[in-house]
Amino acid sequence: MTPREAPSARSVGGCRPDAALGQSDGRLYHPRFFMLIRTESDTQGARLAARQVVEIHQDLVDFLRPGLTLAAIDCFIAEALRSRGSRSAFLRYQASGLPPFPSHSCLSVNACIVHGTHTMTEQALEPGDLLSVDIGVVHRGWIGDAAWTYAIAHADPTARRLMQCGREALRRGVAAMQPGRPLVDWARAVQAHAEAECGFHLVRNLGGHGYGRTLHDSPFISNVVPRNRAEWPDAWTTFKPGMLLAVEPMIAVGTPETFSEPRGWPIFTGDRSLSVHYEADVLITEEGPCDLTEGLADLPEIVGD
């Protein structure tokens, strides 16, 4: 699940400017309030939660097809979570100015970029629809949070090119997340591919985030290079071993602008053009980035055909 705007370190994940620094259950809080995991048990906890997200996406591949409603898909995901001894990280999630999130997963169709709900439409999926599924897991106290986009039954050339762009942007961005390098390296890699090479548009004012035992934590991870420091204060903060980051390109065909109803969760492209959403959970290590959800890359683009 995506933060709705670029937050400051003071407002994310309950961190406070006066938060105590030092050890806490094996985790170290950096002076900029970024949680770093240090123990093998914490690493395994994060890996297991991420693995559950991958497994549920793998199960979805055999379930998704034309004729399904978003309500039926959300029920399938709820049961998949329950059968694994986990629960949704999204259900009843609270955000300022919005009602509690009503669904176990985010189900976003076509022009809906993120935060689609099972209540937003009763219309069944049709061949050619693009469905972005964002699954958040709480497993033994650890979060897993990753999204993938699927074409239902078939994809037209524009949709297929958009999906391939999103997958490659994510791959290149993760590869750029090297310890000691600034966070902005992620945005440089993603933006260079999605916009300069593919000619699509990265959605503005939405991005990735730190996570761990909470769904949203510092730092915010923009998908675009800031024009000035105020746009993304953490852009020059460096990737550090122990960081857990959920990174997520959101790409539209026609515009970087968005639209949402007042007090409404779903966020749409401003021109109602097609969009995709890909998200991975990444642990920064001394050797480089470790994609805890790398199994998602093996998923098919087209399902239910």
Q: For 141-184, what is each residue's pLDDT tens digit? A: 999 999 999 999 999 999 999 999 999 999 999 999 999 999 99
What's the gap between Cα 276 and its chain centre?
11
Q: Residue 180: its pLDDT value, please?
A: 98
Give, rounded to a whole angstrom, the gap between the first and last alpha carbons of the chain: 28
pLDDT, average across residues 229-241: 95
Express each pLDDT in 271-295 by its tens digit.
999 999 999 999 999 999 999 999 9
Reading phi first (left if > 0) and then psi (alpha if -120 to 50, else beta), residue 69 is in beta
Instruction: Report helix angle 40-63 to 70-83, nearest 10.
Output: 140
Confidence of residue 35 (pLDDT cuts 50, 70, 90): confident
pLDDT, average across residues 132-141: 98
Q: Residue 23: its pLDDT value, please?
A: 26
Q: Residue 10: its pLDDT value, please?
A: 25
Q: Residue 16: its pLDDT value, please?
A: 20
Confidence of residue 2 (pLDDT cuts 50, 70, 90): confident
Express each pLDDT in 65-120 by its tens digit.
999 999 999 999 999 999 999 999 999 999 999 999 999 999 999 999 999 999 99
Quick check: 29 pLDDT over 80?
no
Quick check: 8 pLDDT over 80?
no
Express each pLDDT in 41-60 by its tens digit.
999 999 999 999 999 999 99
Quick check: 9 pLDDT over 70?
no
Which residue did the predictor score with more confidence, 47 or 19? Answer: 47
Q: Residue 33: its pLDDT value, please?
A: 58
Q: How far apart are CA 192 and CA 22, in angstroms?
A: 38
Map out the domains of the chain with their CATH numbers: 25-303 (3.90.230.10)
Quick check: 18 pLDDT over 60?
no
Preceding peptide of 219 cis, ω within 30°: yes
| Spatial contact of 29 and 22, defined as CB atoms under 8 Å apart | yes
Quick check: 4 pLDDT over 90?
no
